[in-house]
Amino acid sequence: MAAITSTGLGSGLDINGMVTKLVAAERSPSDTRFTKREASDNAKITAFGNFKSALSDFKGSFSALSQSSSFQKISAESTDSTVIKASALSVADIGSYQMEVKSLAQNHVVASAGYADPSSVVGTGTLTINFGTTAYDATTNQYTDFTQNPSKSSLTLTIDSSNNTLTGIRDTINKSNAGVSASILNDGTGNRLILKSTDSGVKNSMQIKVSDAGTSGLSDLAFDSSSSKMTQTQVAKDALVNINGIDVSSPNNTVSSALKGVTLNLLQAQVGKPVTVNISRNDADLNTAVNSFVDKYNALVTTVKSATNYDTKTNTAGILLGDSVVQSGMSQIRNTLTSVATNKGSSIHSLADVGISIQKDGTLKFDAAKFASAKTSDLSGVTALFSVMGRTEDSNVQYIGSTTSTKTGNYAVNITQAATQGSLEGSSISFPLTIDTSNNGFAIKVDGGLSGHIALTQKTYANGSDLATDIQSSINADSILKGNNLNVNVSYDSSNNRLVIRSNTYGADSQVEITEGISPLGLNVGAGIVGVDVAGTINGQSAVGSGQFLTSTAGESSGLKLIVDRLTIGDRGSINFGRGLIDQLSTKLDNLLSNNGTINARTSGLQTDLGLITKGRALLDTRMVEYQARMLKQFNAMDAFMASMQATSTYLTQQLAVNNKSTN
């Protein structure tokens, strides 16, 4: 504001005070409007923030309910966790099992004779360690036979002058990282080389074959049926646990194949002391999730009510009363909560069917007993009500996933071609068959991955079964193939006297090719039969196959992905796909909460209005400065005029006084 100089000298009026009051009176209506708008905008921004926060909290309660696995949680409890610990997956069968741990699995351990010093020279040559099952004579306990484990490759080491000491051999074995660990133990009489299979179980016993080079000495480490110079200090043993009267063996102390979906960790043997393992449905977490869903929704309702209600006692309206964004958003949520789902083959179609009902005040109420009853009678239906889920009529066709494009519906599935594995059939061979340095090497390409040079164990094979086992073990042990997770299954076709090599993958990328052959084995250079992808239709339209996976790419079922058993051909029933209430709610809340959503749009509009208010105040300040200057100018002009009139009045008075005196 411009400074006001001394005024009112002519008129005697308080012009400064008068102008100040006039300016204040002129400014007051605009100031009041700006203040009210500003207060309203800020209050609405706060209310929308609370609304958005309550929506986010409500959406946060969806996570557990959106996953179908949440409805199928299984718990496993052991009456003695020092003997057996148990865990279970959702596919586990409910039940109670009596168990007795008779023995724990053991690793195979052998020890050499004593040496004077760890640096003592043992000898040179080739050391080969095989892994498999060792047979012993029941009477003499002598080593009699050995059967190679097809899933484990042999370890062949060259021992020369650079590593021929006890320490050198230990380090060479450990550097190989190939299923056996070595250490040196001084037992008070000498230093002994200790070899221990890294895997427990009878199929992981060690067979140690030695070929001396020059002076004998390395052969003192032999351990096989023809020469057992090493001493067996611990026999390889499977774990043995009795489950409901049936003995179950396992190569290690983690038993995961005896009971579907149940893993047992055997901690100690307790012969004659049974332990009970109870497999039951775990509903505690699910009930907690449903309670959270209900509580967060009710908190949302409370937040909305405080911002939209009208208090008849005080005649006060909520700051968001009648707001279209809030009304529309809550209407969408309520409509979803009260919607009826198409749940084929199930009596579960709405939240009310599972004990979640809407009260007169708009809040939800959870009936835990009704929820438990619904889960017991139709768990699949309850799961489908909440979660994205596909339920197939054929157990050989399983739902894998979907995309946001997949629409709810019931879709027919027809398989016209089953997926197959790439395979290669060798030519006819005969037995006995001797493998030596002239015919023990080959190379193979599996699913496009080329192996290194593969060398078979040099021995005479009496039958095709043993040969197939060794070939499979050698191929799957190749470091290149193993590093790319490529492996095969090798079998012997006794009807045609030939080997069959089959890739363990399915589809058009599954193939086997011999790139370096061995004629005596019937494995000549050439490619086998390439696998094929599954083919068929979903919802009557051609779907895309990749291995055993079949994916719909058109129509309402677009994005639906299934896995099909390789033997399944023809009509396979249908799949009932549903998005569930949680997915529908998530979509609606995402639209409300997104950066481009209606709430952000509304608050952005309010922020813009606050900016306009700031600009309006600045313009008002400018206008009031101009108004004040104008008023001062006018009042000062009046004051000057009045001063002039006052001077004229004084002059006239003086003149009249003179005239009167002359007259008298």
Q: How far apart are CA 482 and CA 529, in angstroms?
A: 22
For the cut 80, the answer to whether the pLDDT of residue 205 exceeds it is yes
pLDDT score, position 3 = 47
∠ CA 266-271-274, nearest 5°, is 75
Backbone phi and psi for residue 583, each to the nearest 5 degrees, phi listed first: -65, -40
For the cut 90, the answer to whether the pLDDT of residue 9 exceeds it is no
Compute the CA torsion angle 292, 294, 298, 300 (nearest 10 deg): 60
For every residue of 477-535, DSSP letters joined together read T-HHHHHTT--EEEEEETTTTEEEEEESS-STT--EEEEE-BGGGTB-SEE-BPP---E
Q: How would you write 465-491 as a 3-class SS string?
A: HHHHHHHHHHHHCCHHHHHCCCCEEEE
Backbone phi and psi for residue 277, each to the nearest 5 degrees, phi listed first: -115, 120
Computed over every residue of the chain, the mean pLDDT equals: 89
What's this model's pTM, rounded to 2 decimal places? 0.66
pLDDT score, position 524 = 93
pLDDT score, position 641 = 81
For the cut 60, the answer to whether the pLDDT of residue 10 exceeds it is no
For every residue of 383-447, DSSP letters joined together read HHHHS-EEEESSTTEEEEE--TTPPSEEEEEEEEE-----EEE-----SSEE--TTS-EEEEEET
For the cut 60, the answer to whether the pLDDT of residue 2 exceeds it is no
Contacts of 309 (CB under 8 A, 6+ apart): 318, 321
Peptide bond into 520 cis (omega under 30): no
∠ CA 326-330-336, nearest 5°, is 155
pLDDT score, position 1 = 45
Q: Write out pLDDT tens, residues 365-422.
A: 999 999 989 988 888 888 888 888 888 889 899 998 899 899 988 999 999 999 999 9
Confidence at 659, pLDDT banded by 50, 70, 90? confident
Q: How far apart are CA 241 and CA 102, in angstroms?
A: 6
Pick from 421, 423, 419: nearest CA to 567: 419
Residue 335, burial from CB neighbour count under 10 angstroms (0-12, 13-18, 19+): exposed
DSSP character at residue 453: -
Q: How far apart are CA 557 and CA 399, in angstroms?
A: 12
Q: Write out pLDDT tens, residues 335-373.
A: 999 988 766 667 888 999 999 999 999 999 999 999 989
Contacts of 34 (CB under 8 A, 6+ apart): 613, 616, 617, 620
Q: Write out pLDDT tens, residues 555-591.
A: 999 999 999 987 778 999 999 888 888 888 998 999 8
Tell me what percent of the residues of the chain surpass a pLDDT of 90: 59
In the structure encoding, which two tokens stand for residue 379, read together?
């768990």
How many other CB atoms sit within 10 Å of the CB of residue 562?
26
How many other CB atoms sit within 10 Å of the CB of residue 116?
9
CB 413 within 8 A of CB 552: no
How many other CB atoms sit within 10 Å of the CB of residue 515?
13
In the structure encoding, which two tokens stand for residue 358, read together?
């809407």
Domains of the chain by residue range:
15-60+604-663, 74-104+240-281, 107-237, 423-527
Strands laid side by side in the 498-503 sheet: 423-425, 498-503, 488-493
pLDDT score, position 7 = 59
pLDDT score, position 142 = 76
Q: How far apart are CA 556 and CA 560, in angstroms?
A: 9
Q: Write out pLDDT tens, residues 118-172.
A: 999 999 999 999 999 998 877 776 788 888 887 787 888 999 999 999 999 999 9
Q: Write out pLDDT tens, residues 15-47.
A: 888 888 988 998 899 989 999 999 899 999 999
Residue type, 102: K
For the cut 50, the answer to whether the pLDDT of residue 4 exceeds it is no
∠ CA 194-196-199, nearest 5°, is 175
Q: How far apart are CA 276 and CA 105, in angstroms?
A: 21
How many other CB atoms sit within 10 Å of the CB of residue 25?
9
Q: How far apart are CA 33 and CA 41, in angstroms?
A: 12
Q: Write out pLDDT tens, residues 252-307.
A: 999 998 998 899 999 999 999 999 999 988 888 888 999 999 999 999 999 999 99
pLDDT score, position 92 = 86
Average pLDDT over residues 113-118: 94
pLDDT score, position 339 = 87
CATH of domain 423-527: 2.60.40
Contacts of 404 (CB under 8 A, 6+ apart): 559
Q: How far apart are CA 324 and CA 100, in angstroms?
A: 67
